[in-house]
Homo-oligomer: A and B are copies of this chain.
Amino acid sequence: MKQKQFGYLNLPANNKVEQTKKRSPNGTELRLLEFLWRIMQKPKLQLKLWDGTVVGSDEENVPKLVINSPKMLWRFLMNPNISFGDGYSAGEIDVEGDMLHFMEAVFSSRPSLHDSNWIQRYALNRPRLVRRNTLGGSRDNIHHHYDLGNEFYRLWLDEEMLYTCAYFPDPGMSLEAAQIAKMEHVCRKLRLTPGEQVVEAGCGWGALSLYMARRYGVSVKAFNVSREQMQWARERAKREGLANQVEFITDDYRNVSGAFDVFVSVGMLEHVGRENYAEMGHVIDRCLKDQGRGLVHSIGQLESRPMNGWIEKRIFPGAYPPTLSEITKLFEPWKLEVTDVENLRLHYAKTLEHWLARFETHAQQIAMTYDAAFARAWRLYLVGSLAHFNIGALQLYQVVFNRVSNNNLPWSRAHLYKGASE
């Protein structure tokens, strides 16, 4: 299974590369590297080659991208985005210095679509086919990521197994507390009352569904196409005596039927695919009662550009982070009004810091259970994501919406902060 999922494992192993290591880089290679660094708007970093040659920033003590072989160099020049990730995973590319600073420098220097010319767009953001989220495609894409094995995620997620942005009203709180705070924040935004019917689209390991049922006395139908996650969720529901209140349905959210008071979706929209937003709006409209309301929680970005190519290819096939205007457009045709948007960008950075720290604690174990390339790929993905949120290349939006026919709205958002210390 690993071999099939992680194609970069087929890259040449380090020992094969050794043979070509001695040759010096030629003039063309150096000129192309210099060119690449220039069109990246000269970030504060250097490119270091196998023989010690350095290209890039004149400054000292900047992080270095180390390319270990001519073959890797050419792969990198042809497609920097994908081959950086694959090369790093395979150990043919390394980073010297602070990896987070390195990633922040790379992503900060990326020109916006708005400002860039076609050479920059092509070289840095190679167009590629994204796997489509048809009903079957979604299933495959989700299995790729979420069925890696619950044991893997248990090593570095919190106890509730929440694989989405936590909420840190106090930045010093633990990840466990911040994930509970997130669920409570979402429930307050939804203004749940006992006996209401809730549909959750993309419920992960089921923590939020169970929390809503336990703490707010609602009934939940929760959808997810990941079999492993749903098995875990069902067992937990039984164990906690909530199986009669929460129904976990292994199916696409698009097959939802019935009428609900509340629609909620945390961390699914990123996987829906832009081409399906109109359909998603239609599904929400179809299943929401007249007094209906809901919340969508999603990673977002400022420009509608494809997901980082390597992450899309290796980690999250089919993923696309929408812009806020794309999210709000999802609701507008259905007479659903947005009542509240909160951007939790720095909360996702904080969440990723926690995940990364836990991941590093278990990195050896993960490399042994899976392999070194797998462990390196996941480190890169976590550090890269952290860099994206730190520099504002990604956002996290919580969007609350409401049928316009529903005038039963609170007069302020103060109820979200009752008992808040800050």
Contact = CB atoms under 8 A, between A and B. Distances in A.
Interface of A: 112, 114, 168-171, 302-303, 323-326, 328-329, 331-333, 335-343, 345-347, 390-393, 395, 404-405, 407, 409-417, 420, 422
Given A112-B333, A325-B328, A340-B341, A422 B417 contact: no
B416 A333 contact: no
Nearest to A392: B404
Contacts of A413: 342, 413, 416-417
Contacts of A325: 324-326, 328-329, 332
A302 B341 CA distance: 15
Contacts of A393: 404
Contact of A337 (B112, B395, B404, B411): B395
Output the residue of A337, A347, A407, A409 with the most chain B CB within 10 A. Answer: A337
Given A302-B337, A337-B345, A395-B337, A411 B170 contact: yes
A414 B411 contact: no
A302 B407 CA distance: 16
Nearest to A422: B414
A152 to B, nearest CB: 30
A324 to B, nearest CB: 4
A332 B345 contact: no
A263 to B, nearest CB: 17
Given A169-B414, A413-B417, 8 more contacts: A302-B332, A325-B326, A337-B343, A337-B395, A338-B341, A412-B422, A413-B413, A414-B420
A412 B417 contact: yes
Contacts of A407: 346, 390, 392
B346 A303 contact: no
Contacts of A329: 323, 325
A302 B415 CA distance: 26
A411 B344 CA distance: 8
A328 B324 contact: yes
Nearest to A395: B337
Contact of A412 (B114, B169, B336): B169
Contacts of A410: 422
Contacts of A420: 412, 414
A415 B345 CA distance: 18
A419 B395 CA distance: 30
28 contacts: A112-B333, A168-B411, A169-B411, A169-B414, A302-B331, A302-B333, A302-B335, A302-B404, A324-B325, A324-B332, A324-B338, A325-B326, A338-B341, A339-B342, A340-B343, A341-B341, A342-B413, A345-B409, A346-B409, A347-B411, A390-B407, A391-B404, A391-B405, A411-B422, A412-B420, A413-B417, A414-B417, A414-B422
A366 B341 CA distance: 41
A405 B324 CA distance: 18
A328 B336 CA distance: 17
Given A333-B114, A417-B417, A340 B342 contact: yes
A391 to B, nearest CB: 7
A415 B333 CA distance: 34
Nearest to A181: B412
Contacts of A339: 342-343
